[in-house]
Structure formats: structure tokens, C-alpha cells
Structure 1
Amino acid sequence: MYRNQYGYTFNPYGYDGYFRIQNDQSLVKDVEKAINGEYSAIACYNKLADLAPTQQARQQIYEIRQDEIRHYEAFSNIYKQLTGKQPSPKITEPCPDQYRDGIEAAFLDEQKTTDFYYEIERKAQDLSIKETFRQAAADEQNHAVWFLYFFSFPKRNDHQVRRQQEYGATGALSAPSLTLADMLIYAIQDEYLAQARYEDIRREFGDIQTFVRIQEAEKRHISALNTLFTRYQIPVPSDDASQYVTTPDSVKAAYAAGVQGEIENISMYEKFLLYDLPEDVRTVFTQLRNASLNHLAAFRRGLARMEES
């Protein structure tokens, strides 16, 4: 018995010591394929990180690579329990030599891998195996969004990236500690950023209803935060978010940007809610977090439609 990377206990033996999970050759082959895919990704993403044009991209690719290492270790443990043998991983997918080609290939591969892991999750009988692959599929889906983001957006220099890293959700998530004023400033900056992002998308691609509705919601978020600024006598920062917005090159990339923006926004509010907050602030942050969860679901549906078309 062992506890896998996601906290689920995998026990292939019954209490009487007999092998409980049938040695399903189809499952073994799928797990072996998954191991080889992760092994290939680990090597390729190290190469892509070295080629990355900005520190932001480099850091994010390294974080994705760490996810792949976790997947590789979890799948290897499953393989050992199913077969009694150590896996013999091999690189089965080539890694392009050019950064942009590599990012595009990674995006396509992450999409295919997401579907493959969900397929394994559906077929597996053991609950811990199902959950391991379900969690891994969710990770791969997020990886695909990141790679689409890096593929679709023009290069930005490190100075621009550093400035953006201090703004909105990105700044909040990297801050070692936060005061109430810090939280309110980061929160309204991130709502400014969302508003500017969706305005830019509408200007470029027209009034796509998902973006129209969510942009209107962002105005309400800003209004709710302004009430807290007034109540706690904190100066409201000016809205200079437009300088951090880059126009996506397609509607699909616009949906991907929406997904990533909402993920970061949700993470920001989750971090804030760990603090001891006044009740009215906690209520507003919770409401805004929940609204962003709805926005995230809407953008993910839009991205899925784009991928199907």
C-alpha cells in the first residue's frame, strides 16, 4: 500500500494477501504510455525553459515541468504495483529545437494528453488510479492554457514582465505578506486588468457575448471594492491596467487569456481569505471569488467550443 502524489491510498492487495487488481494489460499499456509521455515532457520542457525569451515564461515552464515530474512518479508507482516491475521509460516524442515550435507542440500535446488521461480515468476500476489520472488531466488542461498563452502573445521584455509581476493578482500571489490596504489595492488592480483585457478583446473581435457579460460583471466588482476603499479610508489607485494588456491573435487565444486571468484572480482571493479579515471584507472577497469561478467555467466552455470547431 502507498499514498500517491494526490493523497489517495493505492492498495493492490486484499487483506488476505491475494492480488486484488487484475493485471489488465490494456491498463498497463496505457500507464506505460503515460509514463513515456511524462518522461518525454520532462526532457522537452527543460529544453524549452532554456529557450524561453522571458523570465516569466521560463519560470512557468519549470513549474509545469515539476507537475510532469509528479505525474511521472505517481504513474511509475502505479505501474510497479500493477506489474511488480520498474518501468523502463523512453522518449517517444521529439522536442523541437525552436522555442515557438516547441510551445505549439507542447500545447497540442497537452490537449491530447488531457483527453488520454480522462480516458484512463473512465476505464480504471481502482478509485485511487481514477483520481490520480483525473487530477493529472486537470493539470494538463491548465498546462495547455499556459502554452497557448505563450504561443499566442507577442514577446514582452523582462522590464515589462517585472512591472506586471508587481500588479494585480500576480503581485498579490508573490507578496510574502499582505495588509488590508495591500489586498484591496491588488484586488482592484486585478479587476481593472480584467476590465481592460475584455475591452481590448471586444475592440479586436467584436461583442462576443461571454466577454460582454463578464466585462459588465467586472464593473460591479470594482464598485464593490470601491465601497471598501471608502469605508476603510484607503486611497483608490488609478487605473493604468491597459499598459499590461496584450491583444490576443485569435478568439481562441482570447478565451485562453480569460481562463488564465480568472485562475489567477481566484487564487488571489483564496490567498486573501486565509487572513484574519473584517467580516464585510471577507464577504466581498468571497463573493468576488465565487463570481470568478463562474467566469472561469464560462471561459473554459468557450475555449472548448473553439477547440472543437
Structure 2
Amino acid sequence: MNSSPLPGMLCNYDLFQKSLMMIKEAVQGERNDELFYDYLISVAPNEEAKNIIESIRNDERRHNQIFRMIYKNFTGENIQSVDEPFQKPSSYLDGLKKALKGELSAVVKYRQIKEGLPLGCYQDQVFNILTDELRHASFYNYLITMDKC
């Protein structure tokens, strides 16, 4: 890629390129994510759980759009989705555990993405996504606890 940060914005070029690559990877599996959330919603034991998972799914859709916009702003290219086979979890609880691990893993990845972006609005947007992921992890902990009670 021939991408470079906006003129006048400070950031490390190698970290910037890595951030763009990680953004692309983060967005490419979105169809699989969508099927996963739809599964969790369909097997959720009550309305409260369904509403929580739906709100997380809606946040994730918004995050994907933000990451797509950031990528396009720097590269001029759209990110193409990659179809991955959806593997249904063995149970609702296993799905919640997988979701929790996914949210915590995303925090680590998104922190790396944030570090490579130029200072300013792009880092702010990724920071907002990061805090959503932490909130989602808390919700999944709540749902796991609720399921065990």
C-alpha cells in the first residue's frame, strides 16, 4: 500500500501500515460475526439477554462502519468481506464465553490499531470503540453470571 498519514499528523509509518492491515482484518469477518450474534439472540433465555446482545450487535455494526471509513479515508479503497464458515457454539453459555473472549481480544487488537493512527479524531474514534468493547465484555460477564444463577 502507498498509504501515508495525513500531512502534518504525527505517527510512525510502520505502525500506521500495521494499523491499516489490522483494521482490514478486523472488518473482514463481519458476516460470520453477524451470524454469531443472530444465533446468540435466537437462543437467549429472556428479553433482557436478547436486548443486551442486540445492542452489542448494533454497536459492532457501527464499529465496522467506522473502521471501514477510516480505512477508506487513508487508502481510498473499500474493504472486501471474506466469507468464513459459521460454526454454531455447542450451547448458549459456550457462545457467551466465546463472545467474552472475543471482546477482550478485540481490546488488545484495537489498542494496537489506535497506537499506529495519527493523533486526533482517528485515535479518538478507536478509543470510543475500545471502551465499547470493554463495556460489551462486562455485559457478557453479566449474562454468563445470570445464566449460571
TM-score (structure 2 length as normaliser): 0.80
Counterpart code for 1:130: Q
* Distance in structure 2 (CA, Å) of the matches to 1:146 and 1:82: 33
SS for the counterpart of 1:125 is: coil
* Paired residues of 2:20 and 2:113 also in contact (CA < 8 A): no
Q: Which amino acid aligns with 1:58?
A: K
Match of 1:128 in 2: 121
**Are residues 128 and 91 of structure 1, via their aligned partners in 2, closer, same or farther at CA, if it must alter by over 3 Å?**
farther
* CA distance in structure 1 between the aligned counterparts of 2:29 and 2:104, rounded to whole angstroms: 13
SS at 2:147's partner residue?
coil
CA distance in 1, matches of 2:22, 2:111: 12
What is the alpha-carbon distance in structure 1 between the residues aligned to residue 83 and residue 60 of structure 2? 14
> 1:105 aligns to what?
98
Residues 111 and 141 in structure 1, CA contact (< 8 A), matched pair in contact too: yes
- The AA in structure 2 aligned to 1:49 is I
CA distance in 1, matches of 2:95, 2:132: 19
Equivalent residue runs for 1:236-247 within 5 Å: none
Distance 2:116 2:64 in 1: 20
Report what 2:132 is aligned to.
139
* d(CA) in 2 for partners of 1:154, 1:65: 19
Contact 2:93–2:147 at 8 Å: present in 1 too? no
1:25 Cα deviation from its structure 2 partner: 2.9
Q: Is the Cα contact below 8 Å between 1:79 and 1:86 reproduced in 2?
A: yes
Task: Provide closer, same or farther for how the CA distance between residues 126 and 35 of structure 1 changes in structure 2, counting only shifts above 3 A.
Answer: farther
Equivalent pair of 1:38/1:71 in contact (CA under 8 Å):
no
Quick one: structure 1 residues 107 and 113, their matched pair in 2 at CA, closer, same or farther if it must change by over 3 Å? same
- Superposed, which structure 2 residues align to 1:160-179 within 5 Å? none
> CA–CA distance in 1 between the matches of 2:142 and 2:77?
39
Q: Aligned residue for 1:31?
A: 23
Q: Gapped runs of 5+ residues in structure 1?
A: 1-11, 15-21, 156-245, 247-309
- Percent identity between the two aligned chains: 27
Displacement of 1:13 after TM fit?
A: 5.6
Larger relative contact order (CA 8 Å, sep ≥ 6) = 2
Compare CA radii of gyration and give the structure with the larger one: 1
Letter in 2 for 1:48: L
Classify 1:135/1:38 alpha carbon distance in 2 versus 1 (closer, same or farther; 3 Å): farther
Query: d(CA) in 2 for partners of 1:76 and 1:39?
Result: 14
Return the offset for 1:61.
Answer: 0.4
Measured against aligned partners, the alpha-carbon deviations of 1:111-142 in whole angstroms (never above 9, x if no partner) come to 11112112221222242221111110100011
Please, what is the CA RMSD of the aligned residues?
Answer: 2.6
Alpha-carbon distance in structure 2 between the residues aligned to 1:91 and 1:131:
30
Q: Is the 8 A contact 2:18 2:113 kept in 1?
A: no
- Residue correspondences, number: 140
Partner of 1:75: 67
The alpha carbon displacement at 1:99 in A equals 1.2
Q: Residue 277 of structure 1 aligns with which residue?
A: none
Question: 1 CA distance for matches of 2:17 and 2:115?
Answer: 16
